[in-house]
Amino acid sequence: MTKRDLVVEIAKDTGLTQEQVLDVVQRTLDRISDALTQGKTIELRNFGVFEVKIRKARIGRNPNSPEQDVPIPPRAVVKFKPGKEMREAVLKLTPGA
């Protein structure tokens, strides 16, 4: 699903114009991005939690020359932990479950 698909579906559900919905969706995403770039945690009840974590420095290997170590510096990454309801709904997609 793309942002455009999301906007079209929300516009159909709410009766708002696609332009209005796009503005709200974009502003929401911008606020989430702004908060994450400031190191804040975003908690959306019944959806999940976005947070910034620091990955430790480590030694990697170059697949073209595995005998050579490549230092990988620490870096900040965004992690997402789904909420209970979403996690349970996605688990239902497991084959044979």
For residue range 79-88, what is the model confidence (pLDDT) as tens digits?
Answer: 999 999 999 9
Model confidence pLDDT, tens digit, residues 22-32: 999 999 999 99
Percentage of residues in the chain having pLDDT higher than 90? 86
For 37, other C-beta atoms within 10 Å of its C-beta total: 11
pTM for the model stands at 0.79
**Is residue 10 within 8 Å of residue 25, measured between CB atoms?**
yes
Q: Using the predicted structure, report yes or no on whether residue 38 has a pLDDT greater than 90.
A: yes
Q: Which two tokens stand for residue 67?
A: 């005998």
**7 close to 18: Cβ distance less than 8 angstroms:** yes
Both structure tokens of 78? 């965004």
pLDDT tens for each residue of 47-80: 999 999 999 999 998 888 888 899 999 999 999 9
Residue type at position 9 = E
Q: How sure is the predictor about 97, in pLDDT bands with cuts at 50, 70 and 90?
A: low
Say if residues 10 and 16 touch (Cβ distance below 8 Å): yes
Q: State the average pLDDT for the chain.
A: 94
CB 11 within 8 A of CB 18: yes
